[in-house]
Structure 1
Amino acid sequence: MASTDLDTSKAYSPWRQRMGMWDRKASPYLYIAPFFIVFAIFGLFPIIYTAVISLMDWDTIRNSGEYIGFANFDYVLNDRKFWVSLRNTFSIFLLSSIPQLIIATFIAAMLDHHLKARTFWRMGVLVPYVVMPVAVALIFSQLYADEYGLVNHWLGMVGIDPIAWHKEVIPSHVAIASMVNFRWIGYNALIMLAAMQAIPRELYEAAALDGASKARRFFSVTLPQIRPTFIFVIITSTIGGLQIFDEPRMFDTAGNGGADQQWLTITMYMYNTGWGELNFGRASAIAWLLFLIIIVFGLLNFWLTRRFVSSDQSGSK
């Protein structure tokens, strides 16, 4: 009986070995395959589809088009609205991302200390992030109302004349940037906090023994250690800032970016071209121009990351 079991195990051992080898080689690809399948359907296919439409005079009724080459790109690049929307997008991005990163880093540094009810405070900074962007935009558009807004009321109490938030360029950008900061400061602060908590505590103890103050420890220990995470937050904030849509769209009831396109962004310009003018060819061209702009910033981030990492390695050596 024992010999029979032994013979059976020997007969099945090569098959089991082949199955085990196949499992080790193929299972990693099977595990990641669903992501790539979903990406190909909902990500890669729309990119290729818009690239084809951007080269056509697309008819939305017949769902077909005539090839016209780069005429759509030529029209967009010579359209004043494109350059105005590009200016507004970068202006809102700078007014939101720079204060956002500074405040998020400061909040993360405070949360990294031994505070009472730390879980409460860490969850609290994330609450604005889970609020719907439309709700935030509606509330802030009322706060920044030209005639009866609460912000102008506060300014009047200190003797400052009311500001035309919906009529002037810079005030409208400041108002929209404040919405973006309200939603994303807490999110970025938690990312910074995770990086700060990964810093070995021995570095702080050694710096304290050397007589370094808290501010010196922050600038000499904390910031260099979280540099890769800081670069990651910068590039994600840049991509999000270039794609901003909800806040400027809901800043007034019309949703057209102002009477003179004071806060018209690239994504709003693309939306108005596609669904307002029903010109999907030009909208696709705008989408591809925005895609190329984001690629440029991604390559810039890659270059900065390699430069900073190489400088860290040379410094450690």
Structure 2
Amino acid sequence: MSTKTEQPVGDASVTVASPTGGRPGGGRAPWRQRLALLDVKVTPYVFVSPFFLLFLLVGMFPLAYTAWVSVHDWGLLSGQGDFSGLENYRRVLEDRYFWNALRNTFSIFVLSSVPQVLIALVLAGLLDTQLRGRTLWRMSILIPFVVAPAAVALIFGNVFGDRYGLVNEALQGIGLDPIRWHVDALASHVAIASMVNWRWTGYNALIFLAAMQAVPRDLYESAALDGAGRVRQFLSITIPTIRPTLIFVVITSTIGGLQIFAEPRLFDTQGLGGSDRQYQTLTMYLWELGWRVRDLGMASAVAWLLFLIIVLFAGFNLWVSRRTGALRGGAR
């Protein structure tokens, strides 16, 4: 379809047909151009859709279903019962074993996550220098991460054995009394935290190392010309520059530390967290409710309470990190 217009050419006028559709610049675009435009808009979402579909399937659906189970009387063998509202949450909060498990979880979390991040930072700083054989050292620090948790438990079971453990043998060799690693609460928390630190410190160190290698080297050269030593460069240049990575590691360490299960579960042959539950964590308490007591309603309530605790801790860590960065930026 076209319209005719008269355009003057010199002393005469010429009738020209101008299109109104099917061409660029007039009316709607051709179907091929529209298809290409649709492809540009839709293709990125198609590429990222598998992740979100899997996340909905293995992440959001179990979370929502756990919330549904937590408000019902639900047995492992009997299945779904009557709607109970917040009764399961009330029973959990009134159970002294829940608060005992919460204290143990926080204690092991502090003893593992804080030293883990600090040691990983130091290791990454050393590996970022002109260290001889640094490729070998970078590969070797990842070995504890690939070792199976059961093997780690066997190793540290011999290291922290009550009678014939390596640590107690060393203490007795210098005239000190042996430590009851499986009986005393604090000692057992230190032993379990040592297992966690040994397994995860190298992994976090490699994450820090990747971030440190992206820091421009001219910043260190300028600082060296100004007389700054290695420690000052690390504190004033490296740490502020890798702050986003540091926040990421702190949050992931928080999530992993509050969900700790394998290490304390394998540290005890009975799987209850000690004879007096002195190192029973929240995940072990959840496992006991679900598979020994067979009360899936209470177990799901514990799972949701743990989820809320993790969200609060992760949000608090993020707020503190951003607040610290904002204060430093204002100071500058």
> TM-score, normalised to structure 1's length?
0.92
CA deviation string 1:84-131 (max 9, x = no partner): 111100101111112111211111111000122222111110110111
Work out whether 1:61 is the aligned partner of 2:77.
yes
* Aligned with 1:192 (options 203, 208, 232): 208
Instruction: State the AA in 1 paired with 2:208.
Output: M
RMSD: 1.6
Structure 2 residue aligned with 1:135: 151
Larger Rg: 2
Work out whether 1:179 is the aligned partner of 2:195.
yes
Distance in 1 between residues matched to 2:75 and 2:122, nearest whole Å: 52
Aligned with 1:250: secondary structure?
Answer: helix
Structure 2 residue aligned with 1:4: none
Structure 1 residue aligned with 2:137: 121
Instruction: State the AA in 2 paired with 1:300.
Output: F
Distance in 2 between residues matched to 1:92 and 1:61, nearest whole Å: 33
Distance in 1 between residues matched to 2:76 and 2:128, nearest whole Å: 54
Work out whether 1:170 is the aligned partner of 2:223.
no
Structure 1 residue aligned with 2:238: 222
Q: Which has the higher contact order (CA 8 A, sep 6+)?
A: 1
Shift of 1:168: 0.4
> TM-score, normalised to structure 2's length?
0.88
Deviates more, 1:123-132 or 1:96-105: 96-105
Shift of 1:306: 3.0
Work out whether 1:275 is the aligned partner of 2:294.
no
Structure 1 residue aligned with 2:257: 241
Task: Decide whether the 8 Å contact of 2:117 with 2:204 is kept in 1.
Answer: yes
Structure 1 residue aligned with 2:34: 18
Q: What is the correspondence of 1:294-309 to structure 2 with a 5 Å cutoff?
A: 294-309=310-325
Distance in 2 between residues matched to 1:247 and 1:59, nearest whole Å: 28
Work out whether 1:31 is the aligned partner of 2:47.
yes
Shift of 1:313: 4.3
Distance in 1 between residues matched to 2:230 and 2:75, nearest whole Å: 64
Q: What is the correspondence of 1:73-152 to structure 2 with a 5 Å cutoff?
A: 73-152=89-168
Shift of 1:270: 0.2
Instruction: State the AA in 2 paired with 1:224.
Output: P
CA deviation string 1:244-294 (max 9, x = no partner): 000000002111100111100000000010011100000000000000001
Structure 1 residue aligned with 2:327: 311
Aligned with 2:211: secondary structure?
Answer: helix
Task: Decide whether the 8 Å contact of 1:55 with 1:67 is kept in 2.
Answer: yes
Work out whether 1:253 is the aligned partner of 2:269.
yes
* Number of aligned residues: 306
Distance in 1 between residues matched to 2:72 and 2:251, nearest whole Å: 32
Aligned with 1:258: secondary structure?
Answer: coil
Instruction: State the AA in 1 paired with 2:156.
Output: F
Distance in 2 between residues matched to 1:80 and 1:158, nearest whole Å: 40
Task: Decide whether the 8 Å contact of 1:141 with 1:252 is kept in 2.
Answer: no
Shift of 1:138: 2.1
Work out whether 1:292 is the aligned partner of 2:308.
yes
Distance in 2 between residues matched to 1:245 and 1:61, nearest whole Å: 24
Instruction: State the AA in 2 paired with 1:179.
Output: M
Instruction: State the AA in 1 paired with 2:104.
Output: N
Shift of 1:315: 4.8
Comparing both structures, which one devotes a greater share of its residues to strand?
Answer: 2
Instruction: State the AA in 1 paired with 2:307.
Output: F
Task: Decide whether the 8 Å contact of 2:101 with 2:280 is kept in 1.
Answer: yes
Structure 2 residue aligned with 1:6: none
Distance in 2 between residues matched to 1:116 and 1:142, nearest whole Å: 33
Distance in 1 between residues matched to 2:321 and 2:239, nearest whole Å: 15
Unaligned 5+ segments in structure 2 are 1-22, 24-28
Percent identical residues: 56
Shift of 1:149: 1.1
Distance in 1 between residues matched to 2:186 and 2:271, nearest whole Å: 18
Work out whether 1:204 is the aligned partner of 2:216.
no
Task: Decide whether the 8 Å contact of 1:192 with 1:230 is kept in 2.
Answer: yes
Task: Decide whether the 8 Å contact of 1:55 with 1:70 is kept in 2.
Answer: yes
Deviates more, 1:228-237 or 1:259-268: 228-237
Shift of 1:312: 4.8
Shift of 1:15: 2.6
Distance in 1 between residues matched to 2:160 and 2:298, nearest whole Å: 33
